[in-house]
């Protein structure tokens, strides 16, 4: 059994507070995962910093939006379905996006992050045993 304590110590876990307060659900993950989750689950299209009018792709960065045209299958599929040419007009950068604050997403302390990781892996272990 090997321990990756040196690399995992630096990584903080983040928690979605919307899930917690509204549905009593605990969603704890790495930062980019929680942010992406928040963008998809708790923000409407016109709250996203960048989005695509055509396929409803949402993201935080301009370059991600430009890349999705080629990398995101649904974009090509919708074009095909509607039989229309691709256009940069589908790509929207929102002048007033919703900003995720610490009331939406919380950073867990190093201690809590560690404990969370442990309890998550414990949960997974017990799930494996049950099946
Ligand atoms: Zn959530
Ligand atoms: Zn698109």
Residue 4 lies in a domain: no
Residue 1 lies in a domain: no
Protein residues near ligand 1, an ion, with CB under 5 A: 16, 18-19, 27, 41
Neighbours of 82 (CB within 10 A): 9
Going by C-alpha positions, the residue among 97, 98, 99, 108 that lies closest to residue 20 is 108
pLDDT at 100: 96
Q: How far is the CA of 113 from the centre of ligand 1 (A)?
A: 17
Q: Please list the pLDDT of the chain residue by residue as tens digits (131 residues).
A: 444 444 444 689 999 999 999 888 999 999 999 999 999 999 999 999 999 999 999 999 999 999 999 999 999 999 999 999 999 999 999 999 999 999 999 999 888 888 877 776 666 555 544 43
Neighbours of 19 (CB within 10 A): 18
* Residue 53 shares a structural domain with residue 78: yes
DSSP-derived secondary structure for 37-57 = HHHHHT--GGGSSEEETTT--
* Residue 53 shares a structural domain with residue 90: yes
Count how many domains the chain has: 2
* Residue 53 shares a structural domain with residue 38: no
């Amino acid at each position: 059994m090997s321990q990756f304590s040196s690399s995992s110590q630096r990584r903080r876990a983040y928690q979605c507070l919307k899930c917690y307060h509204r549905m009593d659900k605990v969603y704890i993950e790495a930062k980019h995962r929680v942010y992406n989750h928040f963008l998809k689950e708790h923000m409407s299209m016109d709250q996203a910093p960048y989005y695509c009018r055509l396929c409803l792709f949402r993201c935080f960065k301009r370059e991600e939006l430009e890349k999705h045209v080629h990398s995101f299958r649904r974009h090509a599929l919708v074009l095909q379905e509607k039989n229309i040419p691709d256009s940069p007009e589908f790509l929207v950068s929102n002048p007033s996006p919703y900003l995720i604050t610490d009331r939406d997403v919380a950073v867990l302390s190093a201690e809590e992050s560690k404990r969370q990781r442990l309890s998550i892996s414990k949960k997974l272990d017990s799930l494996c045993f049950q099946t």
